[in-house]
Every structure is written in C-alpha cells, then in structure tokens.
C-alpha cells in the first residue's frame, strides 16, 4: 500500500496559501494547516509529518522553526517546479523558493529563507538565515544578505554588496553601497532613513543607554564621548526639534547634538549636570517640547558618557 505523503503548513495566512500550493506541486497529498490563533493549533503530540513554517515575519519564523525542530519534526524545504535552481547552489533547511525564482551557481540559501516569486539570486550570493527576498527582487553576483533581512518587492542590489543583519530594503530601492546592520534603506540610490535598533527602544521609559556619537560644540571647540570638558557659561536652554532631532543651546555658543530626540536627564559620571546645589542641568516636561525651567551660571566639568531616563522618537524625513 502506497503511503499518503503528508505535510504541516505552519501558518494559514496568504503566504501559507502559496506555500501550500507549492507543497501540492511537490507531491504532498495530505496538506494540514496549523495556526496558533485559528484552525488547528500546533501541538507536540501531533504525528511527526514533514513541516514547513509559512510565516512572513522573519523572527517569528525563526522561533517557530526552532520550536518544531526541538520537538523532533522534520523541517523540509519547498521549491516550486517552475523555479530554476543551479545544481551547485546550496539550499538549506526550511527554505521556500517560489515560482519563477532563479538561483544561480554557487549561491547559498541558508535556513528559513524565503525566495519569493520571480526573484533572482545571482552566482555566489549568500542569503543568511531567515531573510526574505520579495517578488521581482534582483541580486547581482556576490551579494551577502544578513540574517532576518527583508528586501522589498522589486528591489535591486549591485554586485558584491553586503546588507547587514536585521535590515530592510524598501520596495523598488536600488542598493549601490553596503547597508549597515539594523537599517532601513529606500530610494534610488538607496539611502539609510532609519536605525531599527534604536527604533526598537521607542516609548520605553527609564531605560539606560550609552551614546557613542554624543558631541558638544562650544565656542569653536568640539567635545565628544570621553573628552574632558571644563568651562563656565550662562545657561539659557532652548529646545529645538527638527526632524525629531534635538539641539540644546548653551548661551548661544555651545550646543549638544544627538541624532534622536529625548525627554529626560543628560548626565555624566563626574556631575556634569549638577550645580553647587545638586540641581539637574536639564529637565524636560514629559511629552512636551518645553523645559521645566532654565538654569543659569553652571560650571560644567567631567566626561560626557551617558543619557538616562529618556524616550526616543522616530526619525522622520
């Protein structure tokens, strides 16, 4: 008796429908959709059929794939019959390659990657774990795409470019320079418009972070993190928000510039922000663009090292 070929499709959304169709074209007859929020929920007690994670969110897909592997399920890759795959290309576990996609010689597609419809992966590209290459995207030879990246529909990347992990390339973007990790790039040519690592801190209050890029400009002199400062000024603070950047002006001559707006306290290890009475240098009213009060006749000294108790706001063009 011939055994029916069975597979679980973990994810029942639109992406899951497409993956289910590819499974059918690969000879699976018994296709079972699983979803944690509707239909049949996943359980460790299910029969150990083949399984594929059909979730578009890269990080959720990674977590689910790790979960089912730890429970002993066989995670397979699914390749549409109308995809063109070089014999020397390497396709790892849990990969989905959709109709019309082309993967050329010596390309490496690592675990959990989605190569969507009509995407082109040229020779010697490396697509790292749980990235998503959207429909009609084209990667020239030697491109490296980091873990958890998302390349939007119709995006293009010239040869030998490296795209850092957790980055997003906008739809239709043309990437001609390396992309730092945790970045969003858009446009022709593609430019960085957002840092996703900092964006993840949005609306989290009472957090602690070091700002390596913090700089002071004062009376023609520049100061940055770990530079010693020692001067007296008549402090008259003005808050300026421009594209969600903040500038703190000191007596019209000194300013501290930080690429993200903040609400909170600027401080350092050597009482940079305190006067003889222990008052804080700057205190903002929460959720407003006003300072609670202006202080005068401060002496600043110490090392600029940290910012505490603040809210980051998204940078906008």
Alpha helices in 26-142 (DSSP H): 58-70
Write the DSSP symbol of residue 284. B
Give the Cα separation of 163 and 146 in Å (integer). Answer: 6
Write the DSSP symbol of residue 83. S
| SS percent in the chain: helix, strand, coil, step 5 | 10, 35, 55
Give the Cα separation of 156 and 173 in Å (integer). Answer: 6
Residue 23 structure tokens? 């499974």
- Among 60, 63, 43, 97, residue whose Cα is nearest residue 32: 43
With beta carbons less than 8 A apart as the criterion, state whether 78 and 60 touch.
Answer: no
- Residue 13 annotated as part of some ligand binding site: no
- Residue 153 annotated as part of some ligand binding site: yes
Catalytic residues: 123
- Residue 35 annotated as part of some ligand binding site: yes
Largest alpha-carbon pair distance within the chain?
91
Residue with token string 């873990």: 147
- Residue 150 annotated as part of some ligand binding site: no
- Residue 15 annotated as part of some ligand binding site: no
Q: Which helix (H) or strand (E) holds 11?
A: none
Sorted by sequence, the CB contacts under 8 Å of residue 44 that are 6+ apart come out as 71
Residue 117 Rama label (left phi>0; alpha psi -120 to 50; beta): beta
Which residues are known binding-site members for acetyl-CoA?
132, 153
Which residues are known binding-site members for substrate?
35-36, 56
């Amino acid at each position: 008796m011939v055994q029916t070929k069975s597979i679980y499709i973990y994810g029942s959304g639109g992406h899951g429908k497409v993956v289910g169709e590819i499974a059918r074209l690969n000879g699976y007859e018994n296709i079972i959709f699983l979803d944690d929020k509707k239909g049949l929920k996943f359980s460790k007690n299910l029969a150990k059929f083949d399984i594929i994670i059909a979730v578009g969110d890269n990080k959720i897909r990674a977590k689910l794939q790790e979960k089912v592997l730890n429970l002993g399920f066989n995670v397979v890759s699914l390749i549409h019959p109308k995809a063109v795959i070089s014999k020397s290309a390497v396709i790892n576990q849990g990969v989905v390659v959709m109709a019309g996609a082309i993967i050329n010689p010596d390309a490496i597609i690592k675990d959990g990657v989605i190569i969507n419809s009509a995407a082109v992966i040229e020779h010697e590209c490396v697509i790292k774990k749980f990235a998503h290459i959207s429909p009609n995207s084209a990667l020239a030879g030697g491109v490296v795409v980091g873990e958890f990246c998302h390349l939007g529909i119709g995006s293009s990347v010239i040869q030998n470019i490296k795209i850092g992990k957790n980055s997003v390339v906008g739809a239709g973007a043309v990437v001609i320079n390396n992309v730092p990790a945790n970045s969003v790039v858009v446009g022709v040519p593609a430019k960085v418009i957002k840092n996703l690592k900092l964006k993840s801190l949005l609306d989290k209050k009472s957090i602690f972070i070091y700002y390596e890029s913090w700089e002071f400009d004062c009376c023609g002199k520049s100061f940055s993190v770990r530079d010693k400062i020692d001067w007296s000024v008549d402090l008259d603070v003005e808050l300026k928000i421009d594209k969600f950047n903040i500038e703190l002006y000191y007596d019209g001559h000194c300013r501290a510039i930080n690429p993200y707006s903040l609400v909170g306290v600027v401080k350092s290890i050597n009482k940079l922000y305190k006067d003889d009475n222990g008052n804080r240098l700057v205190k903002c009213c929460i959720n407003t663009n006003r300072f609670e009060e202006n202080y005068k006749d401060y002496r600043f000294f110490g090392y600029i090292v940290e910012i505490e108790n603040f809210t980051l706001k998204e940078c906008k063009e």
